[in-house]
Amino acid sequence: MSNTSLRLAALSTAAVPGFAPTTVRMQSATADSVSAVLADDAHRELLIHVALTPMEALRGDAERSVLDVFTPAMRNALPFALPKVVGRTGTGDVGSLRLDSHGAADPFAGKGKAYVYEPMAGTPIQLSELTSGPDSLAASLGRAIAAIHELDPATARETGLPDYDAEDYRHRRLAELDQAAETGKVPPRLLQRWEEKLENVGLWRFQPCINHGELSEDRVLARGTAIQSITGWAQTRIADPADDLSWLIAAAEPDAVDTIFEAYAGARAEPPSPQLRERAELLSELALAGWLLYGVSLDDDAIIHDGEAMLVDLDEHLFASAGSDDAHEDSTDADSRGAGDTDDEPDDPDDEPDAQSAR
């Protein structure tokens, strides 16, 4: 085994006494974490995730706390598996890991943490490849998200999970919008659009529910047309159900998005609010402002420029489409008026309201 593999094996043994891995298969390696699948001579496999930074360690602890919230009954109510933590240890117990500029792990004296999980079934989904239809993976995804939202939030509230009602959440979004506006890098038309929607109290009427809070392609694992597992529960909270649907809007094909929302609505005990999709679309747009603010918080010029460029693209897409629609309507009206002008008799005044409503 390489140095990295030996240390990962040692960490897994420290976290799970009696487990003696003989093979290590690397999964990912970044500046923040290292993940691998380990197996022993009895073919038992475990997944190890090593947090190399304090922030990543906090995420690992947060996920472990959230997973403790899920009672056996709650887990059984879900049509997919949740991660199961079987051990944890500090990297200082066996020598820590850090990645150098070439992506290789080197020992150092640090305070990272290692988390060991039962392996998760399935492979990450690709939103761009989702198709429509009631028996599709898109439909399974909609039902899986609905199952999360159907969980009783009462138990979660008792454990201190973050809890936001509709008005609190709207004000949080307004505060984020103010922060984005202060950067001076958000197109004015987008700011006006978002402010109008955030000030529309009727749009923000929803029943808070348990949210995953950070769904993404690599956290949703599937096999065939079935969702097998969902990982990454560090940001779970009680909040707007639109949060768990917003990430789908920009990446999936429109027909697949329709299928997801239809399957989601069909799997909820009570029909979701009529404004759910509109909020999800808005949150998808606001995510770009969030990316910009993330870059500002890090003082990272590359992320800032990326966020600014994406906002400009969104502005052009939204308002070019609106302008095209307006131009089409004006052209249609002009054609209608031209056709009417061929009559010798003047227009009947009684027809004017209908003409106005058509325009």
Does residue 191 lie within any of the structural domains?
yes
Among candidates 180, 152, 178, which has minimal Cα distance to 310?
180
Which of 24-33, 200-209, 242-251, 297-306 is predicted least confidently?
24-33
Q: Are residues 234 and 265 in the same domain?
A: yes
CB of 269 closer than 8 Å to CB of 101: no
Which residues form the domain of 252? 127-319
Per-residue confidence (pLDDT) for residue 188, from 0 to 100: 97
Q: Which of 92, 120, 148 is the last residue of a domain?
A: 120
The residue that leads in pLDDT, 345 or 71, is: 71
Report the alpha-carbon distance of residue 235 to residue 60 in Å, rounded: 11
Q: Looking at the domain assignment, is residue 345 inside a domain? A: no
204 and 268 together in one domain: yes
Same domain, 140 and 277: yes
Q: What is the pLDDT of residues 90-131, one digit of tens each?
A: 876 555 455 444 454 444 345 689 999 999 999 999 999 999
In this structure, is residue 74 part of a structural domain? yes
* Separation between Cα atoms, residue 194 and residue 282, nearest integer Å: 8
- Domain's final residue, options 120, 149, 177: 120
**177 and 93 assigned to the same domain:** no
Question: How many domains would you assign to the chain?
Answer: 2
Q: What is the pLDDT of residue 100?
A: 47
State whether 51 and 153 are in the same domain: no
Task: State mean pLDDT over 144-170.
Answer: 93
Measure Cα distances from 323 to 187, 194, 319, 336 in Å. Answer: 16, 18, 6, 20
Task: Identify the band that residue 348 occupies on the pLDDT scale cut at 50, 70 and 90.
Answer: very low
What tokens were used for 6?
Answer: 């030996």
The model's pLDDT over 202-240, given as tens digits with 9 standing for 90+, comes to 999 999 999 999 999 999 999 999 999 999 999 999 999
Looking at the DSSP assignment, which residues form a beta bridge with residue 248? Answer: none
Q: Are residues 147 and 21 in the same domain?
A: no
Instruction: Spell out the long-range contacts of 88-93 with Cβ–Cβ below 8 A and sequence spacing 24 or more.
Output: 88/15, 88/60, 88/64, 88/113, 88/114, 88/115, 88/116, 89/11, 89/14, 89/15, 89/113, 89/114, 90/114, 91/11, 91/50, 91/52, 93/11, 93/14
Within a domain: residue 341? no
Same domain, 131 and 188: yes
Q: How remote is the C-alpha of 179 from its chain's centroid?
A: 21
21 assigned to some structural domain: yes
Task: Please tell me whether residues 30 and 142 are part of one structural domain.
Answer: no
184: left (phi over 0), alpha (psi -120 to 50) or beta: left
* Residue percentage of the chain with pLDDT more than 90: 75
The amino acid at 332: T
Task: Identify the CA nearest to 259 among candidates 146, 145, 141, 123.
Answer: 141
pLDDT tier at 323 (50, 70, 90 boundaries)? Answer: low
Q: How confident is the model at residue 88 (pLDDT cuts 50, 70, 90)?
A: very high
DSSP 46-91: EEEEEE-SHHHHHHHHHHHHHHHH--HHHHHTSSSBPP-EEEEEEG
Q: Are residue 138 and residue 287 in the same domain, yes or no?
A: yes
The pair of three-digit structure tokens given for residue 157, joined into one six-digit string: 């509230």
290 and 149 housed in the same domain: yes
The reply to whether 198 and 89 lie within a common domain is no
Q: Which residues pair with 90 in a beta bridge?
A: 113
Q: What is the pTM of this model?
A: 0.82
The answer for residues whose C-beta is within 8 angstroms of residue 165's C-beta and 6 or more apart is 208
What is the CATH classification number for the domain harbouring 21? Answer: 3.30.200.20
Residue 264 placed within a domain: yes
Tens digit of pLDDT for each residue in 326-340?
544 544 454 444 444
Confidence of residue 352 (pLDDT cuts 50, 70, 90): very low
CATH code of 265's domain: 3.90.1200.10
> pLDDT band for position 353 (50/70/90)?
very low
| 71 and 206 housed in the same domain | no
| Residue 353 forms part of a structural domain | no
Could you tell me the two tokens for 189?
A: 């038309």
* Distance of alpha carbon 9 from alpha carbon 80, whole angstroms: 28
Q: Which of 303, 319, 335 is the last residue of a domain?
A: 319
Instruction: Determine the average pLDDT of the residues in 302-328.
Output: 83
Indicate whether 260 belongs to any domain. yes
